[in-house]
Structure 1
């Protein structure tokens, strides 16, 4: 758990200038990787609406499975504009 928290904080520090920056580390530059050895969805296969819904759900704790806690940490600092940017950047 400590490792996940430290990793999450490190990733969050990369994202101040680019909200999609923290996604790249686990999901790949094009969102075509399943993060953490297949434990997550491949996000570039998701619709923009599904990405927005997932990120909002992670923020408020209503979405997610095994990676829910890690993704909550990642999504909490995102503004609505950041979420929209990420969805438009990678979603279908």
Structure 2
């Protein structure tokens, strides 16, 4: 019985796991289908960035730490809005998906 409950629980978690490819679709408008675009010559191609730094930046944008216009690349206000609806799991899924595009 315990095995069945565990199997059902794991299946449910997998069913609700964030889909990085699906979430990334809204990012592709600015960053390119393969995360290859250098947006406004301010943002490096995401596919070329370090995955850990990319995820840290996403979280910092959401928290408002890179949103003063003087931050790392000056796109804070736009990115804060983009990150607002994403959970940590969503951001991690997107970052992981971008890593597969290399």
TM band (smaller chain): 0.7 to 0.9
SS at 2:27's partner residue? helix
SS in 2 for 1:18: helix
- Name the structure 1 match of 2:33: 29
CA RMSD of aligned residues (A): 1.8
Could you say which residue in structure 2 is the equivalent of 1:45?
48
Post-superposition, which runs of at least 4 consecutive aligned residues in structure 1 deviate over 3 A? none
In structure 2, the gaps of 5 or more residues are 1-20, 67-71
Q: Deviations over 1:13-62 (max 9, x none)?
A: xxxx9211121000101111011x21212110112211110100000011
**Counterparts of residues 12-23 of structure 1 (less than 5 Å):** 18-23=22-27
Q: Tell me the TM-score normalised to structure 2 length.
A: 0.66
* Equivalent residue runs for 1:1-92 within 5 Å: 18-35=22-39, 37-63=40-66, 64-91=72-99
Normalising by structure 1, we get a TM-score of 0.73
Give 1 or 2 for the bigger CA radius of gyration.
2
Unaligned runs of 5+ in 1: 1-16
Residue in structure 2 matched with residue 5 of structure 1 by the alignment:
none
